[in-house]
Amino acid sequence: MIKEICAALLEADVNVKLVGTLRKSIKATVNFKELPPAVNKKRLIQKTVFDELVKLVDPHAEPFKPKKGKPNVIMFVGLQGSGKTTTCTKLARHYQSRGFKSCLVCADTFRAGAFDQLKQNATKAKIPYYGSLTQTDPAVVAKEGVDKFKKERFEIIIVDTSGRHRQEQELFNEMVQIQTAVKPDQTIMVLDATIGQQAEAQSKAFKETADYGAIIITKTDGHASGGGAISAVAATHTPIVFIGTGEHMLDLERFSPQPFVSKLLGMGDMAGLVEHVQSLKLDQKDTMKHIAEGVFTVRDLRDQLQNIMKMGPLSKMAGMIPGLGQMMGGMDDEEGSVKMKRMIYICDSMTNKELDSDGKIFVEQPTRMTRVALGSGTSVREVEDVLSQQRMMAGMAKKMGGMGKNMQRAQGAMAGGNRQQQMAAMQKRMQSMGGAGRGGPGGMDMGALMKMMGGSDGGAGGMGGGGMPDMQSMMKMMGGMMPGDGGAGGRGRGR
């Protein structure tokens, strides 16, 4: 088993030496001889590997926190094509949306077109930028830009540097010159997740020269498992702060060790998820019955919202399902929960008749929407959003009408089954999905995931007991309710 895991890690581009160390430390941690016979060895080894890897990438330190009201200069370094310019803009937008006055400085005078690229990105994100088409000394441009923005009281000043030179030494010299000129509060290295085994050497070389304090891994939405990233962290003892999850401006997520390692090993914490959900005593009966009949009322939506709220932070939930965390890119727990609470207030301001309706009543008498908006302290637009969410779910329920009955049957058949076995089979399926690299996080096949969770094929994938099958609707809803871009039902990026 250890051999298998080590092979998988090597395949995922984790550094050879690191795998060796890991192997030794597993053997040292797990005392196989003295294990009582009842202990599930496989699970124990898996957990040890998982913990070791998480320990490796967990920075155990507070990441750099920019201070409000003062200039925070952040310099980016990294090889060409690693996604530096894109990530600079993503980060500037990230801070800007959190109330920091942010801007970008292009210090790449080597590549013609670098400034244009930054300009385009910055304009799209409505972020002020600085660069020069005539000045050839990058350190001078960087200093000019930083000084100008400091004077204008910008709080986040991000400096993008060149990643390409005729010789590596020239690139490194230039990095040092820029660093000396702008004295960054933080230097971040951008590393492409697809870099593989070169990650260690590259990150070490950059560390020796530019002594960056944080790493951002880009392109984690691709097929690469990101093992190189772990090697880079291990080699340089530098924390990963964010991960890039796509080409879109919003595809930047705070790094979190557990989901990252889960993906690397191709397993989500499904067991944890099942236990968590089962401990919540969610009220599903009516909704399940309704879905089986192909119906989904406003009240069903309300109950589902409340169930989701009970589950705790969405990001935590998502982290337990391989790939889902990344897929929900940019999702902020607080924003999500505020949005959901408002949706519940809206439902709570409805009459029983409205709640038990299919929503058409609001179309027939639109003043009802105004009344509900007033009563809940929200806007008509938000009421419309809730109703369109419900309509979408109702459409799904209709399609699933027949399927719902099968689901219930399958559930009943499994109620007496061996949960442990079901769970093991489930994990295996999750692993094969994650491990086979099906398009990585962004590309996870939601249909398959939902089918599995619902166990609609009546196979071992289902989870028995109450509650779980309704994950189907929950997932869909989670997908539809991401705040920010597009509002209700407006996702689809990250794919």
Ligand X SMILES: Nc1nc2c(ncn2[C@@H]2O[C@H](COP(=O)(O)OP(=O)(O)OP(=O)(O)O)[C@@H](O)[C@H]2O)c(=O)[nH]1
291 with 253: CB under 8 angstroms?
no
By CB under 6 A, is residue 119 in contact with ligand X? Answer: no
- 48 Cα distance to chain centroid: 24
User: In terms of CB distance, is 201 or 396 closer to ligand X?
Assistant: 201
Count of chain residues binding ligand X (CB under 6 A): 23
HSE (side-chain half, CA atoms, 13 Å) at 36: 2
Nearest approach, Cβ of 223 to ligand X (angstroms)?
10
Residue 138: both structure tokens together: 């990058």
Q: Which is nearer to ligand X, 23 or 111 (CB)?
A: 111
* Whole-number CA gyration radius for the chain: 25
The residue among 220 and 473 lying less far from ligand X, judged by its C-beta, is: 220
Binding of residue 164 to ligand X (CB under 6 A) = yes
Q: Which is nearer to ligand X, 136 or 367 (CB)?
A: 136
Q: Which stretch binds ligand X (CB under 6 A): 130-138, 246-254, 283-291, 481-489?
A: 246-254
Q: Which stretch binds ligand X (CB under 6 A): 245-253, 265-273, 397-405, 471-479?
A: 245-253
By beta-carbon proximity to ligand X, the closer residue of 83 and 462 is: 83
Quick check: 86 binds ligand X (CB under 6 A)? yes
Among positions 56-85, residues that touch ligand X (CB under 6 A) are 78, 80-85
Beta strand 252-254 with 240-244 is antiparallel
CA 482 – CA 197 distance, rounded (Å): 36
| Binding status of residue 349 toward ligand X by CB under 6 A | no
Of 107-115, 145-153, 462-470, 480-488, the segment contacting ligand X by CB under 6 A is 107-115
User: Is-contact 179 218, C-beta < 8 A?
Assistant: no
Q: What burial letters (b/e) apply to 55-72, b meaning 16+ CB within 10 Å?
A: ebbbbeeeeeebeeeebb
CB of 149 to ligand X, least distance (A): 20
Q: How far is the CB of 182 from ligand X (least distance, A)?
A: 18
Cβ closest to ligand X, residue 108 vs residue 144 = 108
Among 13, 144, 221, 253, binds ligand X (CB under 6 A): 221
Residue 340 Cβ, how far from ligand X at the closest point, in Å?
Answer: 28
Told to check if 172 binds ligand X by CB under 6 A, we report: no
Instruction: Kindly tell me which of 83 and 184 has the beta carbon lying closer to ligand X.
Output: 83
Determine if 245 is a binding residue for ligand X (CB under 6 A): yes
| CB 352 to ligand X: min, Å | 48
**What is d(CA 285, CA 298) in angstroms, rounded to the nearest whole number?**
15
One of 51, 137, 147, 247 touching ligand X (CB under 6 A):
247
Query: Of these, 23, 111, 150, 419, which contacts ligand X (CB under 6 A)?
Result: 111
Query: What does the H/E/C string look like for the chain?
Result: CHHHHHHHHHHCCCCHHHHHHHHHHHHHHCCHHHCCCCCCHHHHHHHHHHHHHHHHHCCCCCCCCCCCCCCEEEEEECCCCCCHHHHHHHHHHHHHCCCCCEEEEECCCCCCCHHHHHHHHHHHCCCCEECCCCCCCHHHHHHHHHHHHHHCCCCEEEEECCCCCCCHHHHHHHHHHHHHHHCCCEEEEEEEHHHHHHHHHHHHHHHHHHCCCEEEEECCCCCCCCHHHHHHHHHHCCCEEEEECCCCCCCEEECCHHHHHHHHHCCCCHHHHHHHHHCCCCCCHHHHHHHHHCCCCHHHHHHHHHHHHHCCCHHHHHHCCCCHHHHCCCCCHHHHHHHHHHHHHHHHCCCHHHHCCCCHHHHHCCHHHHHHHHHHCCCHHHHHHHHHHHHHHHHHHHHHHHHHHHHHHHHHHHCCCCHHHHHHHHHHHHHHHHHCCCCCCCCCCHHHHHHHHHCCCCCCCCCCCCCHHHHHHHHHHHHHCCCCCCCCCCCCCCC
Is 494 a binder of ligand X (CB under 6 A)? no
Closer CB to ligand X, 220 or 411, in the complex: 220
Site membership for ligand X, residue 218 (CB under 6 A): yes
Q: Which is nearer to ligand X, 76 or 362 (CB)?
A: 76
Among 66, 131, 163, 196, interactor with ligand X by CB under 6 A: 163
- Binding ligand X by CB under 6 A: which of 93, 101, 143, 219? 219
Nearer to ligand X, 200 or 253 (CB): 253
**Is residue 225 a contact residue for ligand X (CB under 6 A)?**
no
Does residue number 378 form part of the binding site for ligand X (CB under 6 A)?
A: no
224 or 282, CB closer to ligand X? 224
Instruction: Identify the residue among 12, 22, 92, 114 touching ligand X (CB under 6 A).
Output: 114
Q: With binding defined as CB under 6 A, does residue 480 bind ligand X?
A: no
> Which residue of 71, 128, 228, 244 would you call a contact of ligand X, by CB under 6 A?
244
- Nearest 5°: the CA angle 83, 87, 93 is 160
Q: What is the nearest approach in angstroms of ligand X to the Cβ of residue 89?
A: 8
Stretch that binds ligand X, among 65-73, 106-114, 290-298, 353-361 (CB under 6 A): 106-114
Q: Is 246 in the site for ligand X (CB under 6 A)?
A: yes
Residue of closest CB approach to ligand X: 244
By CB under 6 A, name the binding residues for ligand X. 78, 80-87, 108, 111, 114, 163-164, 218-219, 221-222, 244-247, 251
